[in-house]
Structure 1
Amino acid sequence: MNTTAESIKAFAASLPEGATISAKELLHLGERAAVDQALSRLVRRGELMRIKRGLFALPVKTRFGERSPSVEAVVEHIMQTTGETVSASGASAANMLGLSTQNPTRKVYWTSGRSRRLKLGAQSVELHHVPNWQLRAPQSKAGHALRAIAYYGRSEAKQVLRRLKSKLNEKERNELFALRAGTPTWLAKELSVLAAA
Structure 2
Amino acid sequence: MQSINNKLLYRIYGHGRGWVFFPNEFVGSFNRRQIDNALSDLAEEGKIRRICRGMYDYPKYSELLGKTLSPDFDQVAQAFARKFNWRIQPGGDAALNLLGLSTQVPGKYVYLSDGPNRSYAIGAYKLEFKKTALKDIGFKYRESGIIVQALKTLGKERITPEILEKIRNEIVLKMCPKILKDTKTVTGWVYECIKEICREGENGQDRDNIGG
Matches of 2:42 and 2:151, distance apart in 1: 43
Task: List runs of 5+ in structure 2 lacking aligned partners.
Answer: 99-103, 139-143, 162-182, 191-212
Contact persistence 2:16–2:58 (CA under 8 A): no
The 1:111–1:49 alpha-carbon spacing in structure 2 relative to 1, beyond 3 Å, is farther
**1:88 aligned partner:** 91
**1:117 aligned partner:** 120
Counterpart AA for 1:15: H
Partner SS state of residue 140, structure 1: helix
- Residues 41-70 of structure 1 show CA distances to partners (whole Å, capped at 9, x for unaligned) of 333444323344433221123432322342
**2:110 aligned partner:** 108
Task: List runs of 5+ in structure 1 lacking aligned partners.
Answer: 97-101, 150-162, 180-197
- Residues 137-193 of structure 1 show CA distances to partners (whole Å, capped at 9, x for unaligned) of 52234x4455x49xxxxxxxxxxxxx7357489xx9x941499xxxxxxxxxxxxxx
**1:164 aligned partner:** 156
- Residues 69-108 of structure 1 show CA distances to partners (whole Å, capped at 9, x for unaligned) of 422344456667846131223x667999xxxxx9743222
Number of aligned pairs? Answer: 155
Please say if 1:58 is aligned against 2:47: no
Q: How far is the alpha carbon of 1:15 from its aligned partner?
A: 1.0
Please say if 1:138 is aligned against 2:145: yes
Give the TM-score normalised by structure 2. 0.51
Among candidates 187, 193, 200, match of residue 176 of structure 1: 187
- Which protein has the larger Cα radius of gyration, Structure 1 or Structure 2? 1
Q: How far is the alpha carbon of 1:14 from its aligned partner?
A: 1.2
Give the TM-score normalised by structure 1. 0.54
Identity %: 18
Q: How far is the alpha carbon of 1:12 from its aligned partner?
A: 0.7
Matches of 1:60 and 1:94, distance apart in 2: 21
Contact persistence 1:17–1:73 (CA under 8 A): no
Please say if 1:47 is aligned against 2:54: no
Q: How far is the alpha carbon of 1:21 from its aligned partner?
A: 2.9
